[in-house]
A and B are shown apart, each in its own frame.
Chain A
Amino acid sequence: MGAGHHHQLYRAGDTLVHRLPPQCKLVAVAAFAIVVVATPRERFWAFCGYLLLLATVAAIARVPPGHVLRRMVVELPFVLFAFAIPVIGLGERITVWGVSLSVDGLWASWNILAKATLGVIASILLAATTEPRGMLLGAQRLRMPQLLVQIATFMLRYLDVVLDSMRRMRVARESRGFQARDIRQAPILAKSAGALFIRSYERGERVHLAMLSRGYTGSMPILHDISADVRQWLAAGALPLAAAAVLFLT
C-alpha cells in the first residue's frame, strides 16, 4: 500500500507549536497573512521583521530550513509571473544590466514576491506542525460548514485508495503493451480517467450505504474535544501580534 505518502508536509514532533490546538494555529496564520498583506510595499524592514518572526517559529517547532525551502517550489508559478511584470510594465523605466524595466513593475513584482513568500512559509510551517486530520478538526471547530469538512475528511481517507486503483489500472494497461508516447494515446488515458471516476463514484455510493447502516443521519458525530484555553490562544496569537507590532514600529 502507498501508505500515507501524501502526508509529507507534516513533520512529527512534540514542540510547543505542535501541541497548540489546530484552530488556534489556523487563526494565527490567517491573521498573520492579513497583517502581511496590509503592509505597504515600501516598508522593506517590516518584511524582514516578518521573515525573522517565521524563522523563530520554525526554530521553536524544530522545522529545518531545508524542509521549508523544498516545499516552497509550490510558489514557482507566482515567481515566474512576478518576474514578467517589470518587463511588460508601463511608466517610468530604468535600465538594469542592459534590460529596460518598469519602476512601477519592479515594485509590483517585489510586492507579490515578498507577500506570497511569507504566506507560503507560514502555511508550510502550519502544515509541518499540524496533522491533516487536526487541520480539519480545527476547521470544524471554527464553524466551517459541516459538509465541506466531511468532504475533506473523506478525501483524506480515500486518497490512498483512489491512487492505488489508479496505479493498478496503469499496471494493467502497461501489462498489455500500452505506452503513453504522444498525444495519440490521450483517448486511452482519458477513458482510464473516466473509469476511475465511475469506480470512485460507485465506491462513494457504497460508503454512503455503510454510513446509513450505522445510523448516519446527515451530520458527523463530534468525537474530539479540542477546546483551547486562553493561554494557548495567546501563544498562537503571539505571531500575528508580533507582526502587527513590527508593522507599527517600522
Chain B
Amino acid sequence: MTLEVRDLAYAYPDGTQALFGVDLRIARGERVALLGPNGAGKTTLVMHLNGILTAGHGTVRVAGLEVGKETLREIRRRVGLVFQDPDDQLFMPTVREDVAFGPANMGVRGEELDRRVRDALDRVGMLDAIDRPPHHLSFGQRRRVAVATVLAMDPEILVLDEPSSNLDPASRRELAQILRSLDVTVLMVTHDLPYALELCERSLILSGGVIAADGPTRELLADESLLTTHRLELPYGFAVPSPGT
C-alpha cells in the first residue's frame, strides 16, 4: 500500500471537528480522485498526509511508514504536495532554484541535484523555462513547474489540490497529458468531476468528514442521487459516457 489512512479524526483547535474517522487505501501506481463539496474536509485530510497537521486519532502510513514527529522528514519526501495556488508553491527567484529546493533540503547536491532538476522539468515540459523567474510564466506553466518541484523529490505519491482550477481548456488538457504520462501514484483532490473521470479510474467521495463512497469513477458519477446527497454536480450538458464509447 502506498497510502493507508486508518480511522483518522481531527478537530481544529477551536473545537470544530473536520474529520470523523477517515479510512482509505491507495495502492502503488493508482490514480485516485478525492471528490467532495467545499467544507467537506478535503484540505484538512491532505494536510495530514505529510504531517502538517497531526492526527487527533487514527494513523496515516505512507509506503509503510507512519506519519509522526520522528518520520516527518522522510514522510515529506515521500508525499509530494502540489498546492492550489502556484504562487504559494513557487517561492524562489528562479524556476531552477525552486525545483532544487526540495531535493537540496534532503541533502542532494552538485551534479545529482542538477540532474534531478532537469529531469523533473523535462517531465512536465518546462525545461526551457529553467532560468526564468516564476512570475514571468503563465498560470498553466506555473502549475506545471509546481508539479516539477515535487517530482524532483522523487515522491511515492503525488497529492494535487484542485489541479485544474483557473486553467484555460488548453492548459487543462496539457496538464492532464502530463499527469497521465507520469509513472507515479496520484491522489487528486477536486470538484472538477469531468477531470476526475478523465484521469482517475477510482474515486473517493469525502463528505461530512468521512469517506462516503469509494468506487470506479464512472459508476460514482453515473449515480445521480449519490452526487446530489453530497452536493456534487456534473456540469450542464455533461453525461458520463457509457463504457465502450
Count residues on chain A whose CB falls below 8 Å from chain B CBs.
Answer: 26
Residues from chain B with Cβ under 8 Å of A209 in the complex: 47, 52, 83, 88
Say yes or no for B97: interface residue by CB 8 A criterion: yes
Cα–Cα distance between A158 and B133 once the two chains are bound (Å): 11
Interface centre among A4, A207, A212, A214 (most CB of B within 10 A): A214
Q: Which of B102-141 contact A (CB under 8 A)?
A: 102, 104-106, 113, 133-136
Contact flags (1/0) for A204-225 with B, using CB distance below 8 Å? Answer: 0011011111111100110100
Q: Is the interface of B mostly helix, strand, loop or mixed?
A: helix
A-B contact count (CB 8 A): 77
Report the nearest B residue to A154, measured CB to CB.
Answer: B91
Q: Which of A185-236 contact B (CB under 8 A)?
A: 203, 206-207, 209-217, 220-221, 223
A207 touches B88 (CB 8 A): yes
Contacting A160 at CB < 8 Å: which of B97, B105, B135? B135
A215 touches B105 (CB 8 A): yes
Residues from chain B with Cβ under 8 Å of A1 in the complex: 135-136
Count residues on chain B whose CB falls below 8 Å from chain A CBs.
Answer: 32
Q: Which residues of A contact B (CB under 8 A)?
A: 1, 3-4, 133, 153-154, 156-158, 160-161, 203, 206-207, 209-217, 220-221, 223
Q: Which residues of B contact A (CB under 8 A)?
A: 47, 50, 52, 73, 76-77, 79, 81, 83, 85, 87-89, 91-94, 97, 100-102, 104-106, 113, 133-136, 149-150, 153
Given contacts A1-B135, A203-B88, A206-B83, 12 further A-B contacts (CB under 8 A): A4-B135, A153-B92, A209-B83, A210-B83, A213-B52, A213-B81, A214-B153, A215-B76, A215-B106, A220-B101, A221-B100, A223-B100
